[in-house]
Amino acid sequence: MDNKRRFALVGTGNRGTTMWGKDLLAGWRGLVDLVAIADTNSLRAERARTMIATNAPIYDSVDSMLAETRPDLVIVCTPDDTHDDIVVRALESGADVITEKPMSTTVEKIRRILEAEKRTGRRVDVSFNYRFAPTAARIKELLNAGEIGRITSVDFHWYLDTRHGADYFRRWHAYAERSGSLFVHKATHHFDLLNWYLDSDPDSVGAFADLQMYGRKGPFRGPRCKLCPHKSECDFYLDLEADPFLDALYEEPSEIDGYFRDGCVFREDIDIPDTMVANIRYRNDVHVSYSLNTFQPIEGHHIAFNGTKGRIELRQYEDQPWEAPPEDVILLVRNFPKGKAAVERITVPHSAGGHYGGDDRLRNTLFKPGATDPLGQRAGARAGAMSVLCGIAALESARKGKVVRLADLMPELFVEETQAVSRLAANGA
């Protein structure tokens, strides 16, 4: 027990209850001890505690929880716009923090977290599990090895299907004030992957975005799926009772906080786009073409790196109306083979666990003693900040019709980096 991380879980939605609750205790019980659960909805917290199979005490106040249980680690799984308050209070109590992505939603909230981390000397980790997926790691190895030379551009397109994509429009994510839009909430994963793959920071973003399917574009609307008179004709009808897990966590608990898990995807006050494209210029002169679509018949992504010596390409299938192999195939295509294969097909089998094994590898890195990180997959607060800033810049560009420089949003983050590079140069590094 003395060697275990004493952690508190704040937020008992789907992700908190599974990834950082039930699954964490099931696989890493010898390394962690759940000492408290905090949630503003007491019934949801009680249901989650049963699912997690723990007797940890429940709190409706983060401050009381921190004062009474003194965890050395706090895991934050609450709505995005609340992350900064919880993270800062946890750091100030002397705890380290793991926060679900995105780290936060605005420049001011990012600044609060970075300043608190620096002031307290504690650490913030951001749960960027896509970095840990075996295929992502293999691509990173190929890029690091210089297999395609200097990278000049990237094509990156992410597809959400009409199950997963629509779900964001049922929930609190559908409001920019809560989620920062999907340019922040969802694309923070994708922007972080790009930042990590390219080992650089985004410099400027030009974007377009619109609402094409959901919200006011819908043909009809109702109070929520359960009470909707259009359920028989709506393609997006969600029968919450058919999912015992979601029903237990959200239906009766909605009587406490009024939050319905089956909100109408056609609510007229939805203010985030569902169709997004962005062009990103990186500080190392790589150009990226990115898109995010939320109502496709397929789920997955396509990414291609174009370099001076060739191209690396991946089409990853996550869900689609045909059978796909239980593995990913990375294409490595060389401009000038010179004795090597012109085309190399690199097969990466899917691993068990969430995100093709990425969730398990992330938890191993965070909790297993002596874990190494040769690819730099562990993501701290700066990585969290940079991916969110990219999303903020994209949304601002789409709304204002202009290219947005990240350094204009948060100059101090780039000044500190420039100063660090100058110091290294002065020391002959």
> pLDDT category, 418, cuts 50, 70, 90?
low
Closest by Cα among 102, 71, 90 to 190: 102
Burial class (CB in 10 A: 0-12, 13-18, 19+), 34: buried
Distance CA 329, CA 307 (A): 19
Q: Which residues, 6+ apart, have CB-to-CB distance to 242 below 8 Å?
A: none
Among residues 321, 396, 319, 307, which one has the least CA distance to residue 350?
A: 319
Residue 385 inside a domain? The answer is no
Q: What is the pLDDT of residue 416?
A: 60
Residues 6+ apart with CB under 8 A from 408: none
Q: Residue 167 sits in which domain range?
A: 131-215+270-354+401-415
The structure tokens listed for 100 are 């679900």
Residue identified by tokens 């900064």 is 84
Would 113 be classed as within a structural domain? yes
Q: Assign 415 a pLDDT band (cuts: 50, 70, 90).
A: confident
DSSP per-residue codes, 172-210:
GGGSHHHH--TTTTTHHHHHHHHHHHHTS-EEEEEEEEE
Find the Cα–Cα–Cα–Cα dihedral 131, 134, 137, 139, rounded to 10°: -120
Beta bridge partners of 204: 281, 405
pTM of the model: 0.95
Per residue in 99-155, pLDDT tens?
999 999 999 999 999 999 999 999 999 999 999 999 999 999 999 999 999 999 999
* Same-domain check for residues 169 and 238: no
- Check whether residue 93 and residue 28 sit in a common domain: yes
The CB density around residue 174, as the number of other CB atoms within 10 Å, is 24
Please report, for the domain that includes residue 280, its CATH number: 3.30.360.10
Q: Name the residue with higher pLDDT: 324 or 100.
A: 100
- Do 21 and 105 belong to one domain? yes
When pLDDT is averaged across residues 7-29 and rounded to a whole number, the result is 97
Cα–Cα distances (Å) from 358 to 146, 177, 353, in that order, read 24, 29, 7
Q: Which residues contact residue 305 at a Cβ distance below 8 angstroms, ignoring those fewer than 6 apart?
A: 139, 143, 148, 151, 154, 197, 311, 312, 313
- 186-235 per-position pLDDT tens digit: 999 999 999 999 999 999 999 999 999 999 999 999 999 999 999 999 99
Domain assignment present for 263: no
**Domain check: are 87 and 228 in the same one?**
no
Per DSSP, the three-state class of 181 is: coil
pLDDT of 428 over the 80 cut: no
Over 70: is that where the pLDDT of 355 sits? yes
In a domain, 423, yes or no: no
Distance, CA of 124 to CA of 122 (rounded, Å): 7
Give residue-wise pLDDT tens across range 240-256: 999 999 999 999 999 99
Q: What is the pLDDT of residue 1?
A: 47
Assigned domain for 408 exists: yes
